Amino acid sequence: MTARRQLPTLLFFYHYASLALAAVLGTRYKFSMLDKKCTGDLDWEDLRYFAALARHRSLSATARALRVNHATVSRRVAHLEALLGRALFESRAEGYMLTADGRAVLEEAKVMDSAALSVLRRLDASAELSGLVRLTAGRSLAEGFLIDRLDGLHRRHPGIDLELIGDVRLLSLARREADIALRFGHPKGSELAARRVGTIYFGLYVAANLRSEPDMMTRLPLVGFDRNGDSIAEAEWLEQHFPGRRFSFRANSQIAQAAATRAGFGIALLPRYLADNDRKLAEIDCDAPMLERELWLLIRPDLTKVPRVRAVADYLVEIFRRERQHFAGHSHAAGREPMEVQPAEEEEEAPEA
């Protein structure tokens, strides 16, 4: 079904859902102005922004998730609060927290949101190899590896429009913030179609002109993640093997870390796909076993049979199979594995891996 044919269905649903919520709110709160304003002015978009702010708890994070500016989020929520005559949030140091009225409205909005997602999933059943597919991956993997290898997908399926979201946040597949995700670690916690597509191997690197420096391993400072990334595997590995070592440069992007290492800031733990072919970087020996991280491809189960989404997923599996030597420096025999439904954990915010 084309986007032009989908639009009337969605507009009808949103109009109906808005009227339904207005009726629910009228019953629950008995607002004096509800009959005059809610049935005509209640806007589904206001509710969508409200629900997103409740989930992300900050204007900036909500704006990034919805791809708008923070003033738009604030305006939408303020319009809803004015319409309902109730404060839905309290602004605190830890972020925007729902009031009691806000929690009640969110329960009703969740029902509408779920129904809207159900409608959109039905529309996803088109057999056409065309339309938008949203893929999310860590920024370094997206910019340092994937983009250069996606041209074949465009040649093979010119009708597919790909949106690649290289972001520090783990977007929600269940809420349609993305269709496909590439994530590190064995998935657990909720049901998504999951497939391990490869292993990312790491090495220790310095600027090539520092490789022959005496006592390099004990003298040079480190390059690593900022303090918000202390819980990710790379940061934990460095802390374990270089306890108490000074960090001369920190960044939440491994592309930035590689650039700082080239500039001579110190020793960095970097994925081999990012550093092995860089002539300005030199790998250094380490007695400790190097970090390895499994890479998993995740899809909502209802999207595994949508042709355009499946085509992108299959192409990604093909890329990682073809490039496994690029990741590891050596190849491991791997046959094609079926897509299996396994538990997969989703989080709202996380540092980039």
DSSP per-residue codes, 220-255: S-EEE--GGGTTSHHHHHHHHHSTTPPEEEE-S-HH
What is the reported pLDDT for 342? 47
pLDDT tens column, 130-177: 888 999 898 899 999 999 999 999 999 999 999 988 865 555 555 567
* Average pLDDT score, the chain: 78
Q: Can you give the pLDDT at residue 242?
A: 94
pLDDT of 182 over the 70 cut: yes
Top pLDDT among 175 and 340 is at 175
Query: Which range scores top for mean pLDDT: 20-24, 106-110, 264-268?
Result: 264-268
Output 229 or 245, whichever has higher pLDDT: 245
The answer to whether 352 touches 253, Cβ cutoff 8 Å, is yes
Note the pLDDT of residue 169: 53
Q: What is the pLDDT of residue 330?
A: 37
The pLDDT assigned to 2 comes to 46
State the Cα–Cα distance between residues 321 and 335, nearest whole angstrom.
Answer: 9
CA distance 119 to 99: 30
Does residue 67 carry a pLDDT above 50?
A: yes
Q: Which residues are CB-contacts of 163 (< 8 A; sequence separation ≥ 6)?
A: 132, 133, 134, 135
Lowest mean pLDDT among 73-87, 229-243, 332-346: 332-346
Residue whose structure tokens are 């729902």: 98
- Per-residue pLDDT at 300: 81
State residue 117's pLDDT score: 57
Give me the mean pLDDT over the 69-83 stretch: 89
Among 40-44, 160-164, 304-308, 335-339, the range scoring the smallest mean pLDDT is 335-339
Q: Nearest-CA neighbor of 46 among 114, 118, 120, 109?
A: 109
Share above pLDDT 90 across residues of the chain, in percent, rounded to a whole number: 37
pLDDT of residue 126: 53
Q: Average pLDDT in the 296-324 region?
A: 90
pLDDT (tens digit, 9 = 90+) per residue, 35-65?
434 444 677 788 888 988 988 889 988 888 7
Share of the chain above pLDDT 70, in %: 72
Q: What are the angstrom distances between the C-alpha of 231 and each of 335, 352, 353?
A: 33, 11, 11
What pLDDT score does 240 carry? Answer: 94
* pLDDT confidence tier of residue 341, bands split at 50, 70 and 90: very low
Q: How confident is the model at residue 124 (pLDDT cuts 50, 70, 90)?
A: low
- Looking at residue 295, its pLDDT comes to 93
pLDDT by residue (tens digit) across 266-287?
A: 999 999 999 988 999 999 988 8
pLDDT band at 291 (very low <50, low <70, confident <90, very high): very high
* 87, two tokens: 């404060």
pLDDT at 116: 60
Top-confidence residue, 10 or 163:
163
- Confidence at residue 106, expressed as pLDDT on a 0 to 100 scale: 87
pLDDT band at 192 (very low <50, low <70, confident <90, very high): confident
Residue 202 banded pLDDT, cuts 50, 70, 90: very high
Core vs surface per residue 324-333: b (16+ CB within 10 A) or e: bebbbeeeee
pLDDT at 309 over 70: yes
According to the model, what pLDDT value does residue 68 have? 85
